[in-house]
Chain A
Amino acid sequence: MFKLHILSLILYGAGIFKRPFLYAGLAVQSAYLLSRGLELHRLPLVGAHDTLAFIAASAAAFAIPFGINLNWNSKYQKGAALLAAAFTLFSMFSKQHNIPLPPVLKTLWFELHVVTAFLSYALFGIAAVLGTIYLIEKVEKNEALQYKAILIGYCLFSASMIFGGVWAYLAWGTYWLWTPKELWTSILWLFYSLYLHARLRPWWAGKPSAILGIVGFGVVMFTYLGVSLLMKSSHSF
């Protein structure tokens, strides 16, 4: 089964040069995630290995509609395939979480919380790729698409925070905990709120907001990996 994961990495790598390989990588990685789910009898969304693979597949999937919109600009295709390959590579070096879930994680609220969070991370990644291409090519359409990716990502991320709050209230009697993860989640949410508001100001339009969208993905990565690996919280790996 792990061979599927390795194959998806190879395909994403080849997808940097030829688009059909990106599609093939997505298909193979989806099959890998499906097989993990069937093996574990649950959504494979616990621990760094599965979540990174899920983000990679989501990034590849979200890359398609934006790619079609851009007539598969070659720089965009390279960036999107590289993003999916990087997440897959990190996933391969992360430990699998194969033990049964504790009872508190067996709830739809948890599933909604993590699925929406990781879908939003993938969209923020695609937005960073679009922003980078805008800075290189200076084509306004790229920046407009970056905004669209961030707006949908922000919607999903907000949903994740709300689902997480409902779940926390039912599981632990409170919808908010003062932990580094919650603080970084708030920083991330405020950062993209800042992006969405800043874009309304003429000074921020174009290059500055594109840069803000790229920096936002750095905050995403620290919130997801940095905090989970370095700081103790309910979200630690």
Chain B
Amino acid sequence: MGILKYITDMLFSIRTTLWSLWLLIALLFAGAFVMPAKEEFQTIHSMPLFDWLSEQNVAITWWLWASIAVLILLTLNTLFCSIQSVLKKRGVSNFLLVLSPQIIHIAFLFMLFAHLLSSYGGFKEMIVAGEGAAFQLNRDGVVLVIEGIEISSDPAGYMSDWSINIAYASGEKLIRKDIIRPNSPSLYEDFNINVKDLRAFPQKAALIQISREPGALWALAGGVLFMTGIITLVILRVKTSRE
């Protein structure tokens, strides 16, 4: 009973928030120096984070594991404190001032959930392809065809624009055509097809990346919620300080 009370008290406390944030900052600080120094981190984007972590030596990933542990604590702490704050201050006159930080907290949790989803179920593959190349996209037999690569340069020789005409087909049947441009990937089902690099000589070729980020929509929702909460909070704080 005593231990349970200690744990719940700890989860309801803003002191836990502060200690968790300090710890997280210290761990990421350490990671910011470990990461560039170790070659193993070159492959961190090649697979989902948890798959990558399971393959690496803890001697170089300890700070990531510890950060995940602190984030779990911070998630519980955020949930407990937010619920407590809303319940305690239900009747106050400026309820929006109580609610807006909690919207920010929910948005933070959305973003953490997004990272969790992507760290488990993310997918990434790179393919070098020239005009006319085709490769299978999924198990249903959908094929991605590179129909044409256009690269334009300015008079000084710098690449000014590019586009890649692609087609999705299944057997002989054309599903749809699309164009990939800078900052405009082709989205097919839950795949994001974009271009990482291009080459005009000796033959036109593109480094195509096929990726899947299951957390992308959650992250976007979190971003929208976060901005809603923080803008409301800023307006209310500025307003109340003037009154």
A-to-B contact residues, CB < 8 Å = 99-100, 102-104, 106-107, 109, 144, 148, 151-152, 154-155, 158-159, 162, 165-167, 169-180, 183-184, 186-187, 190-191, 193-194, 197-198, 200-201, 204, 227, 231-232
Stretch at the interface among B30-38, B134-142, B168-176: B30-38
Stretch at the interface among B1-9, B91-99, B178-186: B178-186
B22 at interface by CB-CB < 8 Å: yes
- Are A155's CB and B230's CB within 8 A? yes
6 residue pairs A–B, Cβ–Cβ below 8 Å: A100-B156, A158-B230, A169-B213, A172-B196, A173-B194, A183-B35
A169-B216, A170-B184 in contact; A103/B160 too (CB < 8 A)? Answer: yes
- Are A180's CB and B35's CB within 8 A? yes
Partner of B159, one of A102, A152, A183, A204: A102
- Are A187's CB and B32's CB within 8 A? yes
- Are B223's CB and A197's CB within 8 A? no
- Are A198's CB and B183's CB within 8 A? no
B66 at interface by CB-CB < 8 Å: no
Q: Which 10 A-B pairs have the closest CB atoms?
A: A103-B182, A162-B223, A173-B211, A194-B21, A173-B192, A183-B32, A107-B183, A155-B230, A170-B183, A173-B194
One digit per residue, 1 when the CB lies within 8 angstroms of any chain A CB and 0 when it does not, for chain B 12-36 equals 0011011001101100110110011
Residue on A nearest B226 in the bound complex, by CB: A158
User: Chain A residues with Cβ under 8 A from B185's Cβ?
Assistant: 170, 173
User: Chain A residues with Cβ under 8 A from B41's Cβ?
Assistant: 178
A75 to chain B, nearest CB (A): 22
One digit per residue, 1 when the CB lies within 8 angstroms of any chain A CB and 0 when it does not, for chain B 35-71 equals 1100001001100000000000000000000000000
Beyond A180-B35, A197-B14, A201-B14, 9 extra complex contacts between A and B, CB < 8 Å: A102-B159, A103-B162, A103-B182, A148-B241, A173-B194, A183-B31, A187-B25, A193-B21, A197-B18
Q: Which B116-167 residues have a C-beta within 8 angstroms of A?
A: 118, 122, 124, 154, 156, 158-162
B219 to chain A, nearest CB (A): 5
How far apart are the CA atoms of A191 and B28 in the complex, in Å? 11
- Are B237's CB and A151's CB within 8 A? yes
A107 to chain B, nearest CB (A): 4
- Are A162's CB and B226's CB within 8 A? yes
B227 at interface by CB-CB < 8 Å: yes
- Are A107's CB and B158's CB within 8 A? no
Contact-residue bracket for chain B: 35 or more
- Are B184's CB and A151's CB within 8 A? no
B200 at interface by CB-CB < 8 Å: no
- Are A184's CB and B36's CB within 8 A? no
How far apart are the CA atoms of A186 and B21 in the complex, in Å? 11
User: Chain B residues with Cβ under 8 A from A167's Cβ?
Assistant: 183
A166-B220, A194-B18, A231-B36 in contact; A144/B28 too (CB < 8 A)? Answer: no
Partner of B183, one of A109, A155, A190, A201: A109
Partner of B227, one of A103, A144, A158, A231: A158
- Are B28's CB and A154's CB within 8 A? no
- Are A201's CB and B18's CB within 8 A? yes
B87 at interface by CB-CB < 8 Å: no
